Every structure is written in structure tokens, then in C-alpha cells.
Chains A and B, each alone.
Chain A
Amino acid sequence: MAIQRKSNIRILDGNQAAAEAARLSRVQVVAAYPITPQTPLTEQLSQYVEQGELQAEYVAVESEHSAMAVCTSASLVGARAFTATSSHGLAYMHEMLHWAAGARLPIVLACVNRAIGAPWNVLNDQQDSISQRDTGWIQIYCRSNQEIIDTIIQAYRIAEQVFIPVMVCYDGYILSHTEMPVAIPDQKDVDKYLPAYKPHTSLDPSDPKNYNLVTLANPRVGVDGKLCHGYMELRYLLQEALQNSRETILQAGEEYSQIFGRDYANMFWEDHTEDAEITVVAMGSLAMEAIVAAKMLREEGIKVGVLGLRVFRPFPKSDVVRALRKSKLIVVFDKNISYGSEGATCSEIKSALYGTYINASIRNFIVGLGGRDVKAHELADATKKAIASLKETVINPDYPEWICQI
């Protein structure tokens, strides 16, 4: 189907792309606290509001914890809310992330991935968002600035359909401060794609309600005689919503491609996986570097494919199994570490493969922490090292290797 491209192309860095996406999504409340490397994004949004280009309430808060509290309140009265943060800011927001998800509020958060101290470091890795893995948010990672603008718009569509907040993650500096050509969607098309937010419930003085009160261990009957959920039933519903969100994510991606001509009907990106004997797995901008590495290896006759993780929560287990079905070796690069275990995405891949017929060896490398540069040839060399290690017949080493100078 021929798609008429109505978009205009501009040179934007990742933060500008995210701000543009929030503006096009017609967010009504922005509450954010500046933190490196997210700062230019909040500056851009406050400028949009100041200049009347975005009809929104910009709430200048004193902390990230308050930023998410404001977004939670705004969302509960029916406003489309947006925030953005990084690193320590996201960590400080941790408690309220649970509240947003538990209250089932479709807030979108741009997480500009940055390392966490100690020691202080303002550069990129993915430890910040991975540390928030279990807060009940959908997490989607971007590989380019085009994906940032497209993903934030899709994030509202997804969030407001399944009533789960969405964290859109992109790598600090590598994307946030690097300019690339970005096709800007037309406002009319975005309006068509993204209908007005309809809350599942709304705080309204004319119909007073209690929200998220102290719940006891068991369900109880409300004053209207209805048996209402206890804590555990509500937690079940959040898990059920995450489990069922795959279809909505794929549909949002499919409809996006129909309107804007860029295909997002996937849970992860695949590059030459059809005949791959070795699959390299990476998430975020690292997946782009892995494609360059795979190309280098293919030139040497090694059949390498790349699985670029996009949706980390919900984790697409059966899709991953399908993509890895021909792999003899899986090499997972993680820009995070679950201390005492391994990289978080490696654990997910292993979990997905358990009990399937795939009996591939897995090798995990920790790379790029705190902004350490990851070059394509380093990924290629690590993959070759993983191939050589197959002689040792260890399918699943206990711990990952680190690419550093220790």
C-alpha cells in the first residue's frame, strides 16, 4: 500500500523529539524536575507552554517524587499527563511510580537513560529504568530519535487503552543530545490516531469517591452493597492487564504504520534473524550498534542476526522464542547489571527459553556502563569470543563477562 508521506523532516536531538511528541499528543499537564540529561526536554516543554504552542499546565515541582504525584493527580481528574526524568530522578520517583501503576493511570514518562551513583556519573546506561522494572509500568526502549517521537505518541494510545502507565526509554547523550533527521507527524494525523483521553474513573466533587484507601487483606462489601476488590485482586488485575497488553501494543503499532508509514507492529526489532545461527540481543541504541557488528561478522561468513528488544515490559516471551528458534548461540549485551546475578535482559531471554526445544548456549556481556563507549567491533569481538567459548560446552555460565579494563 502506497503511503502518502505528509511528514516534514527536521534535524532534532532526542530530547527535542520527545518534546515534539508530547506537544503533538496534546498533553494537558506537564510536571517535571530538570536532571541531566533530560533537562533540555523540560526546557523545551516549558517554552512551548510559555509561548502558547502547547495548551497545558506546566507545574514546576520541587522534586521528581512530586512530579509523579502531580501527574497521578492530574490523570485522576481526566488530564493527559506527561513527565520526564533520568537516573537519580527516576529513583527518587520510585514510590510514586508504584502509585501511578496501582491506580491504573495512563501517564507517559520519558526516561532518558543515565547511570546511577555511587560514584556520580551523568552518562548513559540503562540501570535507572531497569531498576524500576517491577513497578507495573510498560517499558518501551528506542533506538533512534525517530523512534522516540513515534513511541511517545503510541505510548498514549497504548496507556489510555489498557490503563497502564508507559515509560518510554532512550539512551542519554547517544540519543538525547545527538541530532538526527526526524520526520515530524502531522498534527491532524496525530489527532486522528490519538482520541481524547477518557479516564476509567474520575475524581469529581459532584460524585465524591475514595481512591486507593487502606485495603485490608480480604475483599470487602462497599456501602453500595458491592463486593469490592481487596489488595490482591487489584494486583492481579494489573498483572492481567500487562499480560494482555501485547495485543494493544501491536495494534497501536500497526495503526501507526497505516497513518504514518513507519512500522511498529512488533515487540522487538529483527535484523537477519531468519537464517541466523547466532543471535545478538541488545536493547535501545545498543541494538543499532549490534546491527553494525553483525554486518561485520556476516562479511566474515558468520551467520549473525540481531534481536533489538523494544518492549521490555510486558516481556514478549513467546515472540522471543519464535525469533530465536534457529539459534545455536545467543549473545546478550546488557547496559545494566542485576548485581549478584546477570544482565536483566539476559535473565528474561533465559526465562523465555525454559522448557522449549531451543537448547542454545547463552553468553552475557555487560557493556557501556556509565557512558563507557561501546564500539561495533567490540561487540563483534565479544561475539567471536562467545563462539570460541562453545568448545567449553558450557550452555549457561553462572555470571556474565564484563567488557572493561579490570
Chain B
Amino acid sequence: MGTRDCGHICDESHPGIGEAGKTGEWRILVPRIDADKCTASRLNKPTCYLCWLYCPEAVITKGIPPTINLEYCKGDGICAQVCPVQAIVMEQEDKSAA
């Protein structure tokens, strides 16, 4: 069975989660959120969410505290850069756990 069975004659695909594979595998550094520092957690209110706003992969939720989908987080560290209270730190990924 070859790729002809897909029936396309140019490159086309439906957009969807994971269409480029589990991009979390690309990650070297992993973000960790410290709930004691995170503004939303500390105030117990849906607030701040700059990490959610700036994440180019859209893998951060607006939760209390925010959660990160590590299957697709590429570890770019933008959330850690934009966090105004330094609640997110980038740690070395422990590949042995995976």
C-alpha cells in the first residue's frame, strides 16, 4: 500500500491536534510551574495567564494553576520568560522517566 490511497494530488491535510506527531519529544528543557508563586494560584482567581497568551504551541490551559500539555510542549521556555513572578522554571528533561 502506497501513499496514492490518500487520494490527494497536492499536499493537503485536515488541521488537528498532533498532525505533526508528538512534538513534545523534541523537548530538551521542561517547564515546571511553582503554584506558590503563580498569580492565578496564589489569588485563586482566573487571572494573569500571560503564559497561556504567549505560548506559541497553545498547550497551556487557563486553569488554577495553569496546566501544560507535555505531549506537545516543545520546551521553548517562552512561558518562563513572560511570567512576571518567575513562577515557571525550565528544568532539564528527565528522559529516563519517559
Q: Judge whether A53 is part of the interface by a CB distance below 8 angstroms.
A: no
Nearest-neighbour CB distance to chain A for B23, whole angstroms, equals 12
Binding stretch for chain A, among B13-21, B40-48, B80-88, B90-98? B13-21
B9 close to A228 (CB less than 8 A): no
B13 close to A200 (CB less than 8 A): no
Q: Judge whether A258 is part of the interface by a CB distance below 8 angstroms.
A: no
Q: Once the chains are docked, how many angstroms separate the CA of A210 from the CA of B6?
A: 15
A213 close to B16 (CB less than 8 A): no
Q: Which residues of B contact A233 (CB under 8 A)?
A: 2-4
Given contacts A222-B19, A223-B19, are A213 and B13 in contact (CB under 8 A)?
Answer: yes
Q: Judge whether A68 is part of the interface by a CB distance below 8 angstroms.
A: no
Q: Once the chains are docked, how many angstroms separate the CA of A224 from the CA of B10?
A: 17
B5 close to A226 (CB less than 8 A): yes
A229 close to B8 (CB less than 8 A): yes
B3 close to A227 (CB less than 8 A): yes
B11 close to A212 (CB less than 8 A): yes
> Which range holds the interface residue count of chain B?
20 to 34
Q: Judge whether A256 is part of the interface by a CB distance below 8 angstroms.
A: no
Q: Judge whether A389 is part of the interface by a CB distance below 8 angstroms.
A: no
Q: Which residues of A contact B17 (CB under 8 A)?
A: 223
Q: Once the chains are docked, how many angstroms separate the CA of A103 from the CA of B8?
A: 10
Nearest-neighbour CB distance to chain B for A237, whole angstroms, equals 6
Q: Judge whether A375 is part of the interface by a CB distance below 8 angstroms.
A: no
A210 interface neighbour in B2, B4, B12, Cβ under 8 Å: B12
Q: Which residues of A contact B5 (CB under 8 A)?
A: 226-227
Q: Once the chains are docked, how many angstroms separate the CA of A184 from the CA of B8?
A: 38
B9 close to A237 (CB less than 8 A): yes
Q: Which residues of A contact B21 (CB under 8 A)?
A: 220
Q: Which residues of A contact B11 (CB under 8 A)?
A: 210-213, 215, 228-229, 231, 234
Q: Judge whether A333 is part of the interface by a CB distance below 8 angstroms.
A: no
B10 close to A228 (CB less than 8 A): no
Q: Which residues of B contact A163 (CB under 8 A)?
A: 9
A209 interface neighbour in B1, B2, B3, B13, Cβ under 8 Å: B13
B10 close to A103 (CB less than 8 A): yes
Q: Once the chains are docked, how many angstroms separate the CA of A233 from the CA of B4?
A: 8
Q: Once the chains are docked, how many angstroms separate the CA of A229 from the CA of B2?
A: 9
Nearest-neighbour CB distance to chain B for A83, whole angstroms, equals 19
Q: Judge whether A230 is part of the interface by a CB distance below 8 angstroms.
A: yes
Q: Which residues of A contact B20 (CB under 8 A)?
A: 220
Q: Which residues of A contact B6 (CB under 8 A)?
A: 222, 226-229
Q: Which residues of B contact A223 (CB under 8 A)?
A: 13-19
11 contacts between A and B (CB under 8 A): A103-B10, A201-B9, A208-B14, A209-B12, A209-B15, A210-B11, A223-B15, A223-B16, A228-B11, A229-B3, A233-B2
Instruction: Give me 16 other A-B pairs in contact (C-beta within 8 A), A220-B21, A223-B13 excluded.
Output: A104-B9, A104-B10, A200-B9, A208-B14, A208-B15, A209-B12, A210-B11, A210-B13, A222-B13, A223-B14, A223-B17, A223-B19, A224-B14, A224-B16, A227-B5, A229-B8
Binding site for A on B (CB under 8 A): 1-6, 8-21
Binding site for B on A (CB under 8 A): 102-104, 163, 200-201, 208-213, 215, 219-220, 222-224, 226-231, 233-234, 237, 241
